[in-house]
Amino acid sequence: MSMPQSSGLSVQQGQTGGTPTIKMAQPFSQHCASPIPFPSIRHNLTNLPPGSSMAPAPSNGSLGYTMVPTEYLTQLQPAPCAPVADNGSLASEPNIHVSSNIALARLPIITTDSRSKKPCNCTKSQCLKLYCDCFANGEFCSNCNCTNCFNNFEHEAERFKAIKACLDRNPEAFRPKIGKGMLGEIKLRHNKGCNCKRSGCLKNYCECYEAKIMCSSICKCIGCRNYEESPERRTLMSIPDPGDVGLCQPWTKFYPDIFSYRKQVKVKQERHPFTFVTCDVIDATCGCLLAQAEEAEKAHHSLSVAEHMILEEFGRCLAQILHKS
């Protein structure tokens, strides 16, 4: 699967282990990997990525919820919660009940559609299998180079069947592959792990490497060189040795745009919010807020406490954004 090289985020613990900091690592959609079974929070998750919805996990109700592209959700079942439209507003389908206070309380979302979708080149799958990146990402093919494409409005029935088949095989088929690690882990990791044998996990064949994350214990790769101290990885990724720099910020190498606004600011004294409140920054902020919601859920806090925690987190995010700017 392909991912924009210049986008993506993560939430990392501060160097002293204190306040989490916003770092780029993944598109926002990748942040929503963990099911969110806390209903009171879930119903307030109106800031899901545009075009996404939370749906009950298909296989096992106890699993909570899984994130499914809204197009798929609406085709598979009556939407249990309001999807987020591409323009960031709540969908207006009459069968979807949206509590007015939620609707009123919603903050406007800046769409992240600026990330261009990579066209696929499928020839045999009809773009109805997970081989197809468009299909796997819950998107219709558009401006692709595919042949005999069924991943479009004209082939709704076939798409429906294909989606259902995928979910039957794997209820989490459309779950983002990159997510947070185990409880307490903040770094992102591949949810399934890779199975590379020959690439040393240092080529884009490797999903971990492609996502610019290191392989983890769940990977079943052979001859892996995609780990923290790997010299080959450092060379490939042009990561300076921690001893060579005072404050090592390796991810700035991979995701320069979120850090580049500092340089822009130096060059241009007149600053505008859009020069540093980029889509990636917004994505990272949403990721922090979701993480906070999950923490509240795990701690079984009440809704009001959860809201308080999330608001506090939002404040910290704002402070960091201002500091970075």
Partner DNA sequence: GAGTTTGAAACT
Partner DNA sequence: CAGTTTCAAACTC
d(CA 117, CA 120): 9
**Cα dihedral sign, 129-133-137-142:** negative
- CB closer to DNA, 55 vs 144: 144
Is there a contact between 286 and 279 (Cβ–Cβ < 8 Å)?
no
Find out whether 219 and 201 touch, Cβ atoms under 8 Å: yes
Count CA within 13 A, CB hemisphere, residue 48. Answer: 28
| Closer to DNA by Cβ: residue 46 or 137 | 137
Q: How many Å apart are CA 211 and CA 103, to the nearest integer? A: 34
Residue 84 to residue 135: CA distance in whole angstroms: 19
Residues 25-40, buried b or exposed e (16+ Cβ, 10 A)?
bbbbbbbbbbbbbbee
DSSP state of 45: -
Interacting residues toward DNA by CB under 7 A: 2, 120-125, 127, 129-133, 136, 165-166, 169-170, 173, 177, 192, 194-199, 201, 203-207, 210
Task: Report in angstroms how near the CB of residue 59 gets to DNA at its nearest.
Answer: 14
Angle, in degrees to the nearest 10, between helices 303-324 and 279-298: 150
